[in-house]
Structure 1
Amino acid sequence: MALAETIGGIFLIVGILTRITGVIFSIILVDAIFHIRWNNGFFIAKGGWDFDLALIAMTLFIVVMGSGRLSISSSLKKIPSFLQ
């Protein structure tokens, strides 16, 4: 789990496999909500899961939008096909 979050965080920062990483992070967050924070209620002040829900929304946004134009995967698409 920690390895997925560390490597996944690096992938998100540099822009490699962003959609796959976003899906993995969403799964991890859903698991955290239901197994750790669900009984504490909604609000984060009481150990709840509202912040995790916001993080899920952010990761799903990354899944839908993909990596940006400054990412490594975007710059790899610009390489002419004869150089690949």
Structure 2
Amino acid sequence: MLVLRVVLGLTMAAHGYNKFFGKGGLSGTAGWFDSIGMKPGMFHARVAASTEMAAGLGLAVGLLTPIPAAGFVALMFTAYWTVHRKNGFFIVKDGYEYNLVLAVVAVAIAGFGAGKYSLDYLLFGWDGIGAYLWGWWGLAIAAVLGLAGGIGQVLIFFRPPAPADAA
């Protein structure tokens, strides 16, 4: 579980870091968000980059694991709905394959628990509060909270641009 958490978490954190500091930085990311209908773009660039970094690092260290896993689900649902769903399944055609895998693996980690080599285990063990950080509770928290966040963000903010040929 340690290897899976660290690889998945640091991969997501790297995406957030890239939004903050990669080529184009937050302004480039904001422009892209505006172009796909997630307005205001700068707000969404900051939210996406911060959530990717926080959820990624939280999952990597195994801290309150269902919460960062919910962040993965919210991020990946929003990416699926706003960009990838119209392109089909396969990532080579900009489909939603990658989004699905990241979200499902994050929920699975929340369900199985962060493992013995995690801050969850160190701070809470498997009993008391720790019992809510894995199993059906962990899975439900990650899936329900993540879907609620992603669906809420899409419903509140997503306004797809009109097709070019509609003008």
The C-alpha deviation readout for 1:32-72, integer Å capped at 9, x for no partner, is: 10111111121111111112111121011022122111101
Tell me which residue corresponds to 2:102. 55
Runs of 4+ aligned residues of structure 1 deviating over 3 Å after TM superposition are none
Q: Is the 8 A contact 1:19 1:67 kept in 2?
A: no
Tell me which residue corresponds to 2:90. 43
RMSD (Å) for aligned C-alpha atoms: 1.3
Distance 1:77 1:57 in 2: 24
Matched position secondary structure for 1:67: coil
Tell me which residue corresponds to 1:69. 116
Task: Select which of 6, 20, 25 maps to 2:72.
Answer: 25
Q: Where do 5+ consecutive residues of structure 1 fail to align?
A: 79-84
Matched position secondary structure for 1:70: coil
Q: Give 2:121's aligned amino acid.
A: S
Distance 1:33 1:39 in 2: 9
TM-score (norm 1): 0.82
In percent, how many aligned pairs have the same letter?
32
| Number of equivalenced pairs | 78
Q: Where do 5+ consecutive residues of structure 2 fail to align?
A: 1-47, 126-167
Question: How far is the alpha carbon of 1:22 from its aligned partner?
Answer: 0.3
Q: Give 1:27's aligned amino acid.
A: A
Task: Select which of 56, 62, 68 maps to 1:9.
Answer: 56
Q: Which structure would you say has the larger RCO, counting Cα contacts within 8 Å and 6 or more residues apart?
A: 1
Distance 1:3 1:51 in 2: 20
